[in-house]
Amino acid sequence: MRHDLWSVATESGVKRRRGWRGRPTPHYLLAPVRGELPPLFDANYGAGTLLNKVTTETHFAPGQTLLIDADDTLWENNIYFEHAIAAFISYLDHKEYTREEVRERLNAVERENVRLHGYGLTSFRRALVTCFESLTTGPISPAKHERIMSFAQSIADQEIELLEGVAETLPVLASRHKLILMTKGNQVEQLDKLARSGVREHFTGVEVPREKDPGAYREVCAKYELGPGTTWMIGNSPKSDINPALACGLHAVFIHHPHTWVLEHEVLDAAPAGQQLLEVETFGGLLEWF
Ligand SMILES: [Mg+2]
């Protein structure tokens, strides 16, 4: 199958298709002059520029290995935290600090908790309590503690909600390529979500490292004997999915999620020579490349 496509590069070498999935062509793909373009992504992700129009074979050969992120790539995750945090801030109802200032405090506590205790709901519960204690006077009563715990519990009680196109796309990808789930965090929580998602059968392997840093990618490549030239990391986080994978010589596909956790924001790195960095709008867009 052949397509006309606009090859678009950012300073990071991001490539994305034109007018895919029947949607209007994003305005930034039509702007003709480098330096006068609106940002390709949010300001956090860098700016894009149009390169040239090309016609090319669009699918990579079968037999690629696709390392696929889970939270906010396969299923919704961060929006539940955002809802819980909004409820927490309303409950705190601080008389001096604005909602934004309380959120800043919580972000700082979460950063430290992740460093000490890893990702996951246990860390989040601790962060809420610590933040509450640091912004109020006196000990937290059992009733208040229970209420704060209920905000985190609302996340644990969520059904798994697959993102658009995931259920239809995974079996097609799995028929052509090797899929390995690679999600960081608390292993028990992540494996439980995967079991409840109904998509486990499409993956030949599942990896849950504590952090998705270059060392974790190198370990997975060694374990599965993956060649960097045919291995791709696919996910929504510049910090955990794209940049460390590129640093290890892998290709990467960025799927922007509008509610990516602020602690995952980072400027996309440039794709080194010989490596690919693609962007697709939704998970189903992967079928245009793979
Ligand atoms: Mg993610």
Residues of the chain with CATH 3.40.50.1000: 57-75+162-288
What fold characterizes domain 78-156? DNA polymerase; domain 1 (1.10.150)
Which tokens hold the place of 172?
A: 């097609």
Q: Tell me, in angstroms, the distance from the centre of ligand 1 to residue 43's CA.
A: 19
Q: Tell me, in angstroms, the distance from the centre of ligand 1 to residue 27's CA.
A: 26
Q: What was the pLDDT predicted at 14? A: 62
In angstroms, the CA 50 to CA 23 distance is 18
Q: Please, which pLDDT band fits residue 224 given cuts at 50, 70 and 90?
A: very high
Q: Which residues surround ligand 1, an ion (CB under 5 A)?
A: 69, 71-73, 236-237
Residues of the chain with CATH 1.10.150: 78-156
* Per-residue pLDDT reduced to its tens digit, 235-258: 999 999 999 999 999 999 999 898
Q: Tell me, in angstroms, the distance from the centre of ligand 1 to residue 175's CA.
A: 23
Q: Tell me, in angstroms, the distance from the centre of ligand 1 to residue 93's CA.
A: 30
Q: Tell me, in angstroms, the distance from the centre of ligand 1 to residue 219's CA.
A: 19
Print burial letters for 133-144: b (CB count within 10 Å at least 16), e (below 16). Answer: eeeeeeeeeeeb
Mean pLDDT of the chain: 82
Q: Tell me, in angstroms, the distance from the centre of ligand 1 to residue 70's CA.
A: 6
CB under 8 A, 24+ apart: contacts of 20-23: 20/280, 20/281, 20/285, 20/288, 21/281, 21/282, 21/284, 21/285, 23/281
Q: Tell me, in angstroms, the distance from the centre of ligand 1 to residue 163's CA.
A: 12
Q: Tell me, in angstroms, the distance from the centre of ligand 1 to residue 8's CA.
A: 24
Rg (the chain; Cα; Å) = 20
Residue 187, classified by CB atoms within 10 Å of its CB into exposed (0-12), middle (13-18) or buried (19+), is middle
Using alpha carbons, select from 46, 36, 43 the residue that is nearest to residue 10. 46
Q: Tell me, in angstroms, the distance from the centre of ligand 1 to residue 277's CA.
A: 17
pLDDT (average), residues 228-236: 96
Print burial letters for 57-74: b (CB count within 10 Å at least 16), e (below 16). Answer: eeebeeebbbbbbbbbbb
Q: What was the pLDDT predicted at 168? A: 97
Q: Tell me, in angstroms, the distance from the centre of ligand 1 to residue 228's CA.
A: 21
CB atoms within 10 A of CB 109: 21
In angstroms, the CA 135 to CA 283 distance is 40
In angstroms, the CA 234 to CA 220 distance is 14
CATH of 57-75+162-288, one of 3.40.1350.10, 3.40.50.1000, 3.40.50.720, 3.10.20.30: 3.40.50.1000
CB under 8 A, 24+ apart: contacts of 54-60: 54/5, 54/6, 54/7, 55/2, 55/3, 55/4, 55/5, 56/2, 56/3, 56/5, 57/2, 58/1, 58/2, 58/3, 58/5, 58/288, 58/289, 59/1, 59/288, 59/289, 59/290, 60/289, 60/290
In angstroms, the CA 15 to CA 279 distance is 6
Q: Tell me, in angstroms, the distance from the centre of ligand 1 to residue 213's CA.
A: 13
Q: What was the pLDDT predicted at 278? A: 94
Q: Please, which pLDDT band fits residue 289 given cuts at 50, 70 and 90?
A: very high
Q: Tell me, in angstroms, the distance from the centre of ligand 1 to residue 67's CA.
A: 12
Q: Tell me, in angstroms, the distance from the centre of ligand 1 to residue 236's CA.
A: 5
The pLDDT of residue 13 is above 60: no
* Per-residue pLDDT reduced to its tens digit, 151-185: 999 998 899 999 999 999 999 999 999 999 999 99
* Per-residue pLDDT reduced to its tens digit, 44-100: 333 332 222 233 457 899 999 999 999 999 999 999 999 999 999 999 999 999 999
pLDDT (average), residues 227-238: 95
Q: Tell me, in angstroms, the distance from the centre of ligand 1 to residue 95's CA.
A: 34
Helix (H, G, I), strand (E, B) or coil at 90: helix
Share of the chain above pLDDT 90, in %: 69
The pLDDT of residue 27 is above 50: no
Q: Tell me, in angstroms, the distance from the centre of ligand 1 to residue 54's CA.
A: 31
Residues in the chain: 290
pLDDT (average), residues 177-195: 96
Q: How far is CA 182 from CA 33, 42, 171, 219, in A?
A: 38, 25, 17, 12
Q: Tell me, in angstroms, the distance from the centre of ligand 1 to residue 141's CA.
A: 35
